[in-house]
């Protein structure tokens, strides 16, 4: 009798443990980033054969073979600790700010010290604005309609949609407006495996349809629809940012992976996004503008010494798509235009090296 009872108790304990391990999680605002949070993220090499579509209840996504190409460190701060102008503009409506990468320039425009501003509340996590210095002048942009990235609590089979918009208007120089519709669906729950570890997660699929309006130097403007984008995000409790995010564009009804980003630890030999500087040879940084680019971009840099220069455009798997320059160059300033019309829309790396990587730079290049 004792043996039988012990067996029943053991079965009950194992069943309870199994039920708990298979229980779906719920994501709320406490699981979003908070001030002073920092996260190390790896950009993964793209494998077109990755299955990003399959999902469901109690599903296991195994992305443990992802390979890091480059890494970056994301930081979140209080809006009150950013520039004073930003703090005054967003201090009463945002409770979180994220330092973002800025392109070197957009034609005559030079953005610096850029932040996204968010409101993280019990009901939603939304972006309410963006700010940067443009040619040394602070330019905060509060969204006309906030981009609601998540509505809380996030649960399996939940769906929602919303529209957002904002505009940048510099009289007699540039007008840029953007509007978009975001459709979110929590389409799976289960277990995620990445090189960083194994986690219980919710999977959120976001379909984003955007439209840009642009006018320059007082000339008549034009509008263009962006390709439909689909973001797949795996969220874990207490992890702040997605444990894994795979962005795709839709081509002939099928998802084409444009970027892979996942939480990670430091990896030996994997560079952190930026430039290895050798001030005795390269003056300043390699610049790309505009960035994002469409049919062409301008590349600019300055050499202090003669060097053998190599510039390539690679995809995120490391494959070289275009060799731009491989030649000996004298000291001086170099600026030239590069045709991009033969490269599909997506996110790429512009690799600059001098004297066989004595100095090197990696720049993200977005083509739309």
**Closest by Cα among 160, 162, 168, 159 to 180:** 162
Most confident region among 8-22, 107-121, 238-252 by mean pLDDT: 238-252
What fold does the segment set 275-367 form as a domain?
Immunoglobulin-like (2.60.40)
Return the structure tokens found at 190: 């289960």
Of 61-70, 87-96, 291-300, the least confident: 291-300
Determine the pLDDT at residue 216.
Answer: 81
CA angle at residue 271 from 270 to 274, to 5 degrees? 160
**Backbone torsions φ then ψ of 37, nearest 5 degrees:** -75, 140
**Backbone torsions φ then ψ of 270, nearest 5 degrees:** -95, 120
Return the structure tokens found at 218: 């007082």
Indicate whether 10 pLDDT > 50. Answer: no
Which residues does residue 109 pair with via DSSP β-bridges, in sequence order?
106
**Backbone torsions φ then ψ of 197, nearest 5 degrees:** 150, -170
Higher pLDDT, 83 or 204: 204
- pLDDT per position as a tens digit, 273-312: 754 444 456 777 788 888 888 888 999 988 888 888 889 8
| pLDDT grade for 186, boundaries at 50, 70 and 90 | very high
CATH 2.60.40.3080, the chain: domain bounds: 275-367
| pLDDT grade for 257, boundaries at 50, 70 and 90 | very high
What H or E segment, with its residue span, contains residue 250?
Answer: strand 244-251
| pLDDT grade for 102, boundaries at 50, 70 and 90 | low
3-state secondary structure of 34: coil
The per-residue pLDDT of the chain, averaged, comes to: 85
Q: What is the mean pLDDT of residues 254-273?
A: 86
* 267 alpha carbon, distance to own chain's centre: 20
Determine the pLDDT at residue 9.
Answer: 40
Determine the pLDDT at residue 168.
Answer: 83
Determine the pLDDT at residue 120.
Answer: 97
Determine the pLDDT at residue 157.
Answer: 96
Return the structure tokens found at 194: 């990445």
3-state secondary structure of 1: coil
Distances (CA, A) of 269 to 21, 261, 316, 353, 355: 36, 18, 16, 17, 20
Determine the pLDDT at residue 109.
Answer: 66
| pLDDT grade for 13, boundaries at 50, 70 and 90 | very low
- pLDDT per position as a tens digit, 191-250: 999 999 999 999 999 999 999 999 887 778 889 998 899 999 999 999 999 999 999 988
Determine the pLDDT at residue 135.
Answer: 75
**Closest by Cα among 283, 266, 275 to 331:** 283
Indicate whether 16 pLDDT > 50. Answer: no
| pLDDT grade for 17, boundaries at 50, 70 and 90 | very low
Dihedral over Cα of 276, 278, 279, 282: its sign: negative
Of 99-108, 121-130, 148-157, 179-188, the least confident: 99-108
Determine the pLDDT at residue 360.
Answer: 59
| pLDDT grade for 352, boundaries at 50, 70 and 90 | confident
Q: What is the mean pLDDT of residues 267-277?
A: 66
């Amino acid at each position: 009798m004792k043996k039988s009872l012990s067996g029943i108790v053991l079965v009950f304990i194992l069943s309870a443990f199994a039920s708990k391990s298979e229980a779906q999680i719920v994501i709320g605002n406490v699981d979003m980033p908070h001030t002073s949070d920092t996260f190390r993220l790896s950009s993964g090499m793209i494998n077109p054969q990755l299955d990003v579509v399959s999902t469901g209840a109690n599903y296991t996504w195994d992305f443990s073979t992802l390979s890091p190409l480059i890494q970056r460190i994301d930081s979140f701060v209080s809006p009150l600790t950013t520039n004073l102008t930003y703090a005054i503009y967003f201090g009463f409506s945002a409770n979180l700010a994220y330092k973002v990468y800025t392109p070197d320039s957009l034609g005559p425009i030079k953005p610096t010290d850029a932040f996204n501003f968010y409101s993280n509340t019990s009901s939603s996590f939304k972006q309410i604005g963006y700010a940067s210095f443009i040619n040394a002048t602070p330019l905060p942009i509060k969204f006309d309609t906030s981009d609601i990235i998540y509505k809380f609590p996030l649960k399996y089979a939940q769906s929602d949609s919303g529209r957002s918009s904002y505009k940048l208007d510099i009289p007699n120089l540039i007008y840029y407006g953007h509007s978009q519709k975001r459709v979110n669906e929590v389409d799976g729950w289960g277990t995620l495996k990445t090189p960083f570890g194994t986690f219980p997660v919710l999977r959120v699929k976001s379909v984003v349809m955007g439209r840009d309006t642009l006018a320059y130097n007082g000339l008549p403007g034009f509008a263009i629809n962006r390709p439909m984008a689909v973001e797949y995000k795996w969220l874990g409790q207490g992890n702040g940012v997605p444990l894994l995010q795979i962005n795709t564009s839709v081509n002939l009804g099928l998802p084409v992976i444009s970027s892979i980003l996942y939480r990670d630890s430091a990896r030996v030999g994997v560079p952190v996004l930026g430039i290895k500087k050798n001030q005795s040879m390269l003056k300043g940084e390699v610049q790309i503008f505009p960035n994002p680019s469409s049919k062409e971009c301008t590349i600019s840099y300055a050499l202090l010494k003669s060097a053998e220069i190599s510039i390539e455009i690679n995809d995120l798997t490391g494959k070289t798509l275009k060799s731009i320059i491989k030649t000996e160059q004298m000291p001086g300033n170099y600026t030239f235009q590069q045709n991009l019309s033969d490269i599909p829309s997506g996110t790429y790396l512009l690799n600059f090296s001098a004297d066989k990587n004595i100095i090197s730079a990696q720049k993200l290049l977005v083509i739309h």
